[in-house]
Amino acid sequence: MHQLFIVVLGQRDLSRAGDLFSLEDTEIEDCLSEALEQIKEISSSPDYLKNVNDQAVVEICITRITTAIRKTKSIEKHGKALVTLWESCLEHNLKPVSKDEDTPHAKIVSDIMSCIFQNYSNPAVMALAVPVAVKFLQMDNKELARNMSNYLALAAIGKPEVLAKHTVTIVNSILQGKVKQYGLLGIPQNQSVKYKFLENLTA
């Protein structure tokens, strides 16, 4: 891992975190997966929710990492580590603290979500991301679920078969009022489940 990441993540050094943006993307590209693994350890620690310093370090590092992934077009290389960190957030509280304030882990989910779904037309990336993405539809965060369903609708345009096997989860989310993305049910492979959904609506 790049020495600056070692300092920033290893020592939770917020004062040096901004220096990551002075590095060339190519300087840090090789170590992005390792940095994401380190972030997962930090964000999974028992005191993370109360540690504002660690939260700020994680937020800055994720921004730097996702920027580097986008600019170096290395999403396939680092996609697994990115999705692993993303999925780990499901183990934590994602319910908003207040109307305008998300939990620290919900912020991580949002930051990673936008990076991943910029690649909605990439089958390899969507194969990794969609099985995790649909799980967020069931969480107690309507704004997060709404944004996720919008991104999934994009994925459905490019690669509908990736979403087909998750139709039941999507339908349940709609029935529970967590999402309103009915367009996801227009996927050809989803027709039998769609009819069941319509029966439930009219029952």
At 29-77, the pLDDT tens digits run: 999 999 999 999 999 999 999 999 999 999 999 999 999 999 999 999 9
pLDDT of residue 70: 96
State the DSSP code for 101: B
DSSP structure class, residue 159: -
> What confidence score (pLDDT) does residue 53 get?
97
**What pTM does this model have?**
0.82
Q: Give yes or no for a contact between 9 and 46, defined as CB atoms under 8 angstroms apart.
A: no
pLDDT less than 70: residues of the chain: 158-159, 163-164, 166-203
**pLDDT score, position 180:** 55
Could you give the CA distance from residue 182 to residue 45 in angstroms, rounded to a whole number?
Answer: 38
* Amino acid at position 31, single letter: C
Name every residue whose Cβ is closer than 8 Å to that of residue 10 and which is 6 or more positions away in sequence.
Answer: 38
Structure token digits, residue 108: 């991580």
Determine the longest span between alpha carbons in the chain, in angstroms.
61
